[in-house]
Structures are given as structure tokens and as C-alpha cells.
Structure 1
Amino acid sequence: MAQTDTFATFLIIGPTCFFLGILFASFPYDYNVLWTTPADKEAYFKILEDHIKFLYASPPLISRILHIVIGTGLVGFLMKLYRATEANYLFDGASLVLYFAGVLVYLTNIVKGFRVVTVGIYGADHDLPEGAADDYISREDTLRVFAASNTILALVLVGVLVLQAGQWYALRKEEAEIAAMDQAAEEKKKAGKKKQ
């Protein structure tokens, strides 16, 4: 594997692990929303809403760092796909598709969830104009969609890591096979010289 490919792989794996760390920090909230029912559901949802509002109100520097890290991952993919080999097209192409799917989940569901929870407009909770209530979902459903989006994003990012690990394994296996073939050819060549 070339030095450029190794560095580009680092540029992909680093941001992916960074995002998984962020999602892991949200997992205690997401777990209780998706898979269990807390004893005091209303108090728990209030804690979750406060957490989301706190994250959304963070200084602009935080979102800028997040977007720089997203861009760093994309730069890594561009470096690997520039003068790409067949393995790059297969593994990195699939990884890039997953990475873009993750970016889309982030932009469409998570950012929108931050805004909806911060504003606090839920369909069943407010007196909305007739017909407008159909455009809004309930508080609980909003929090479930937010938690499910975090979980989907985590699975997508794990898929990126699995594909990058698969590419590394395939390249190592190929290098070992080439070395074995070269060694066999060298031994055959030496055996031919001895016969002469």
C-alpha cells in the first residue's frame, strides 16, 4: 500500500471514529428512547430535550469543527479515488456511498431534529392552524426519529470502518500471494540453473 493511500485511509478512519465517539456519547439517551421505557418518561424526555437544546445552542466553533472533520473524511476519499485501483473502486466507492448516506442522515434528520426540539413545535402539543398539524409529529415521535437517526448513522459509519478494514485485509492477502509466487519463481529459477 502506498504512503498516500495509508495517509488517505487515516483521513477516512479518523473522522469516522470521531463521529462514532460523538454518537456513543448520545447512546444512553437513544437507548432509552428506542429500546426501553424509563419509569418517569416525561421527566426523561425533558432531560433529553434539554440535552438536545444545549447541543444546538453550542458556540458556532463547535459546528465548524464538525464540518471540517466531515470535509477531512471527504478529502481522504478523494485522495484514495484519485488514480484508483480496482480495490479502491470497490472498497472506497462503497465506503464513499455509505459516508454520503451518513452525511445525508445528519443533514436531513439530525440537524432538523435539533431545530424542531429547540423550537419545541410538536403536532399534538400546540394549537396549530387546521391542516398544519399534519406537518408536525408528536414530541415522542420526534425524539424517536432523532434517536433512530443517530443509530442509523452509527451503523453506516461502522460499515465504512468494516469496508476500510476489508480493503486493508484484501491488500495484505494480495501482497502475501505475490510474495509467495515470486519466491516460487525464484526457487524454480535456481533449480533450473543447478540442472545446467
Structure 2
Amino acid sequence: MGANTFATFLIIGPTCFFLGMLFSSFPYDYNVLWTTPDDPMHYFKVLEDHIKFLHASPPIISRILHIVIGTGVLGFLAKLYKASESNLLFDGASLVLYMAGITIYITNIVKGFRVVTAGVYGNVEAVGDVEAGDYINREDTLRVFAASNTILALVLVGVLVLQAGQWYALNKEEAEIKQMEKEDEEKKNKGKKKQ
């Protein structure tokens, strides 16, 4: 049980770390996705500047993030090694969500960092002989980036919910086993007293 608890920590820690990062971006994303201010271009500019700032951060920042993401994968591998039925159900579903989160991160967020920093969205001349319909404009690119952060946050919350569900199910099972053992012991004691 101790190794399983440590592996759970290796999953929950990185998930919460990543959620914290996404939460720090939420003020930028919220205004782009859900408000209709008088000057919406201001919020697009603020989000764009924020993305450029994050993308220009020192390499150690992205390396730490990738190590943390890898730690979560390591936690799943540890829990699924010689897995019980509970591990296969809860951890299997959690791993699917975690990998979906990694996919969203790589395909939408990392790509969004590169596109926004390069400023090539909607700029057909910068790309070459591609039709204008193949590229989305600046505002839509920033909305997709903000929506990807929100979707990723929901996926990671799903990982936490499944891990909490597994913890609850295991504790409930242990309590039921102890109760059954207690009842068996009481029956044995009553049987001995009758003799």
C-alpha cells in the first residue's frame, strides 16, 4: 500500500502543479473567452504579450515543466505495474486523461506559443502559396489557445477526481473487510461461548 500511495503522490503532485500554471493564465483566458468588453482588442493584446513573455522565458522553465510532466507519467507506470482491478479501472482512465492532456499541451499550447511568437497567424504572405482559408486569424488563434488551457484544466481536474475516487473506493473496501472480519470474529467468539 505504501508504494501505491507514493505513486499516487507522483500523479497528484504534477497534476496540481500543471493546474496551478493554468490557473495563473486564467485571468488572461477568461477575458478572451467569456467577456465582451468595450475594447476587446486590449485583452487580445494582453494575452498575446503574456504568451510571448512565457515563450521567451529561460529554457530551465520549460525543462522543469517537462520533468514534472514526466514525473506524472512515472507515477502512472508505478501504479499500473502489477496492477489490481482497481488500479486498472481508475488509473487506466486517469492515464487516458493525462495523456489527452499531454496531447492538448503539445498540439495546441506549444504550437500556440510558436505561432503567436512568430506572428504568422492569418498572414498568408509569410507562409507562401497557401490559401487564406487554411489559416485562422489572430483573434481566433488566441481564443483557441485560451480554450485549450481551459480544456486542459478540465482534463486535469478529471485526473484528480478519478484519483480521489480510487482513494475513496479503496478506503471503503478496507472498512468493509474490517467489518466482515470483526463480524466473523464475533461469530467465532459466540460459538466458543456456547461450547
TM > 0.5: yes
Instruction: Report the alpha carbon displacement of residue 131 of structure 1 after superposing the two structures with TM.
Output: 3.4
Q: Distance in 2 between matches of 1:43 and 1:148?
A: 18
Match of 2:167, as an amino acid?
A: W
- What residue in structure 2 maps to residue 184 of structure 1? 183
Instruction: Report the alpha carbon displacement of residue 82 of structure 1 after superposing the two structures with TM.
Output: 0.5
Contact 1:91 1:163 in 2 (8 A): yes
Q: Which runs of 5+ in 1 are unaligned?
A: none
Contact 1:121 1:136 in 2 (8 A): no
- What residue in structure 2 maps to residue 120 of structure 1? 119
Q: Distance in 1 between matches of 2:161 and 2:92?
A: 13
Count of residue pairs brought into register by the alignment: 194
- Percent sequence identity over aligned pairs: 76
What CA RMSD, in Å, does the superposition of the two structures yield over aligned residues? 1.2
Q: Which runs of 5+ in 2 are unaligned?
A: none
- What residue in structure 1 maps to residue 23 of structure 2? 24
Match of 2:38, as an amino acid?
A: A
Contact 1:99 1:156 in 2 (8 A): yes
Contact 1:110 1:149 in 2 (8 A): yes
Residue by residue, what CA displacement relative to the aligned partner does 1:46-104 show, whole Å, maximum 9, x if unpaired? 11111100000111100100000000000100010001100000000000000000000
Q: TM-score, normalised by structure 2?
A: 0.96
Q: TM-score, normalised by structure 1?
A: 0.96
Q: Distance in 1 between matches of 2:37 and 2:114?
A: 24
Instruction: Report the alpha carbon displacement of residue 126 of structure 1 after superposing the two structures with TM.
Output: 5.6
Instruction: Report the alpha carbon displacement of residue 152 of structure 1 after superposing the two structures with TM.
Output: 0.5
- What residue in structure 2 maps to residue 161 of structure 1? 160
Instruction: Report the alpha carbon displacement of residue 40 of structure 1 after superposing the two structures with TM.
Output: 1.5
Q: How does 1:11-160 map to 2 (within 5 A)?
A: 11-123=10-122, 127=125, 129=128, 131-160=130-159
Q: Distance in 2 between matches of 1:44 and 1:167?
A: 40
